[in-house]
A and B are shown apart, each in its own frame.
Chain A
Amino acid sequence: MKDILDDIDRWRAAGRRVAVARVVNIEGSGPRDPGAAMAVSEDGEVAGSVSGGCVEGAVVGEALGILNGDGNPKLVKFGYSDDEAFAVGLTCGGIIHLFIEPLTW
C-alpha cells in the first residue's frame, strides 16, 4: 500500500477518481501476499501490483468497470480453475482473491 500512496495523492489532487485492488486471499501458490495493492485512476493509469504481472491487465478492466459503473466494491477471483484461466490465469497455478473498490472513503 505504501508504494502507491504518492500516485493516489497525485491523481486525487488532479480531481481524478481512483479504484484500489487489494489481494485478500491466496490459495495455493501465489506471487504476492495478502495486502499487496494496486491503484487505478479513472483514465487508466496504474500504480503498484497484485501479482507477478499475470492479472494486472484484467484488474484494470475490473477497476474501470467499477468506476464507470455502479461504483459497488467487488470480490474477484483469478486462477487456474477459473473459466477465465486461459485468458488471465496465474502462471504459478494458484488462485488469487482480490477486493476491488472505489476510493471514496
Chain B
Amino acid sequence: MLYEVLRDRIRSSEPVVLATIIDGPGTGNRLLVWPGTDALGTLGNAEIDRIVGRDALGELEAGNTLVRHYGPNGETTPEDLLNTPTLSVFIESFAPPPQMWIFGAVDFTAALSKVGKILGYRVTVCDAREVFATKRRFPAADEVRVTWPGPMFAESGSTLGPRDAVCILTHDAKFDVPAVQGALATKVGYIGVMGSRKTHGKRLERLADVGVTAPEDLARLMSPIGLDLGARTPEETAVAICAEIIALRTGRKPPSLRDSSGPIHS
C-alpha cells in the first residue's frame, strides 16, 4: 500500500520522501512523507515520526538523500543519545526533475533539448514565433511555449531554483534582454546566454539601458555560453553547455580527469 503511493508519486513527478530504519531497533520500519499532509506508515512511535517527518521534509526541499541518526524517540542531541540504542534512518528524497528553460527555437535548441533530457531535466522551449516554436521541431522537449520571456517568467519564474537552468539561445536583443532580466529575477542556478564575445558586449550595453548593471547580476551570466571544448555543431555545443551547467553546480573548474589528481567521485 505504501509502495503503491510512493510509486504513483514518483511516476507523476510529485515530491515525496521515504524514511526507512536501516539499522537499530525497528529496522525495516518506514515513513512516507510529502508536504501538506499527514505521513503514511510509522517508524515506531508518534514522537520519532514527528521529528523524522520534519527532518525528511527539509531534506526533500534540498533534494538530499542521506542517512541520519536518532534515538528511539527521535532524540538527536549527543547527550540524549548516550546509553540509548541508535537508529540509522535512510532518508530518500524523490524531488521533481530539475527544469531547463531554453529560449529561442533554433537548431541549437533541438540539440540542447535532447541532451537536457538525457541528463534528466524537464525541458521547456520558449519562443514568440508561432511558426518556429512547434512540438514537431522539438520532439524531445516536454513543453513548447509560444510566448515572450516576460509573461513566461511572470507566470512560472518562481518555480525556478538552484538545480534549474535557463539557456538563452535567441541571438536577438528584443528577446534576449527580457529573458536575461526575467532569469536574473529568479533563484535559477544557471543562466547561459549564447553569442560571441562581441554580441555579448552589445548585449551588456542593452542590459545597461534597462538598468541591469549590478556586478553580482552580471556575474551570474555565462556568456559566451558553454565550456571551451571547441564545439562546432549544435550537438557538440549542447554537450559544452550541459557540461558547464554540471561544473557550475558542482563548483568545479573542469580540466580533463587525466590532468588532475584525487578521487573522481566526491
Classify chain A: how many residues form its interface, as a range: 20 to 34
- Which residues of the partner chain A approach B3 to less than 8 Å between Cβ atoms? 103, 105
A5, A24, A31: the one within 8 Å of B22 (CB): A24
**Interface readout for B16-33 with A: 1 if CB under 8 Å, 0 if not?**
000010110001101000
Task: Assess whether B263 is in contact with A1, with CB atoms less than 8 Å apart.
Answer: no
A2, A5, A73: the one within 8 Å of B27 (CB): A73
Task: Assess whether B90 is in contact with A22, with CB atoms less than 8 Å apart.
Answer: yes
- Which residues of the partner chain B approach A94 to less than 8 Å between Cβ atoms? 265
The docked-state distance in angstroms from the alpha carbon of A72 to that of B26 is: 11
Q: Assess A99 versus B10: contact at CB under 8 Å? Given A29-B263, A34-B66.
A: no
Query: A101 in the interface, Cβ–Cβ < 8 Å?
Result: yes
**Interface readout for A5-43 with B: 1 if CB under 8 Å, 0 if not?**
100110000000000001011101111011100000000
A25, A31, A103: the one within 8 Å of B265 (CB): A31
- Which residues of the partner chain B approach A25 to less than 8 Å between Cβ atoms? 66-67
Nearest-CB residue, chain A, relative to B89: A24
Task: Assess whether B265 is in contact with A75, with CB atoms less than 8 Å apart.
Answer: no
Query: B176 in the interface, Cβ–Cβ < 8 Å?
Result: no
Q: Assess A5 versus B92: contact at CB under 8 Å? Given A29-B265, A92-B265.
A: no
Q: Chain A nearest CB: distance from B116 CB in Å?
A: 17
**Interface readout for B153-180 with A: 1 if CB under 8 Å, 0 if not?**
0000000000000000000000000000
Task: Assess whether B23 is in contact with A75, with CB atoms less than 8 Å apart.
Answer: yes
- Which residues of the partner chain A approach B253 to less than 8 Å between Cβ atoms? none
- Which residues of the partner chain A approach B22 to less than 8 Å between Cβ atoms? 24, 73, 75, 99
- Which residues of the partner chain A approach B23 to less than 8 Å between Cβ atoms? 75
Task: Assess whether B65 is in contact with A28, with CB atoms less than 8 Å apart.
Answer: no
Q: Chain A nearest CB: distance from B246 CB in Å?
A: 14
- Which residues of the partner chain B approach A22 to less than 8 Å between Cβ atoms? 90, 92
**Interface readout for A38-67 with B: 1 if CB under 8 Å, 0 if not?**
000000000000000000000000000000
Task: Assess whether B92 is in contact with A28, with CB atoms less than 8 Å apart.
Answer: no
- Which residues of the partner chain A approach B1 to less than 8 Å between Cβ atoms? 105
- Which residues of the partner chain A approach B70 to less than 8 Å between Cβ atoms? none
Task: Assess whether A105 is in contact with B65, with CB atoms less than 8 Å apart.
Answer: no
Q: Chain B nearest CB: distance from A29 CB in Å?
A: 4
The docked-state distance in angstroms from the alpha carbon of A29 to that of B265 is: 5
Q: Assess A2 versus B10: contact at CB under 8 Å? Given A29-B265, A103-B3.
A: yes
B28, B93, B94, B264: the one within 8 Å of A101 (CB): B28
The docked-state distance in angstroms from the alpha carbon of A50 to that of B111 is: 30
A31, A33, A34, A72: the one within 8 Å of B28 (CB): A72
Task: Assess whether A34 is in contact with B265, with CB atoms less than 8 Å apart.
Answer: no
Nearest-CB residue, chain A, relative to B13: A2
- Which residues of the partner chain A approach B65 to less than 8 Å between Cβ atoms? 33-35
Nearest-CB residue, chain B, relative to A36: B65
Nearest-CB residue, chain B, relative to A100: B22
The docked-state distance in angstroms from the alpha carbon of A1 to that of B9 is: 12
Query: B249 in the interface, Cβ–Cβ < 8 Å?
Result: no
Given contacts A72-B28, A101-B20, A105-B30, 14 further A-B contacts (CB under 8 A): A1-B92, A5-B7, A5-B10, A5-B11, A22-B90, A25-B66, A28-B265, A29-B263, A33-B65, A34-B66, A34-B67, A75-B22, A92-B264, A105-B41
6 chain-A/chain-B pairs, Cβ below 8 angstroms: A2-B94, A22-B90, A24-B22, A29-B264, A99-B22, A105-B2
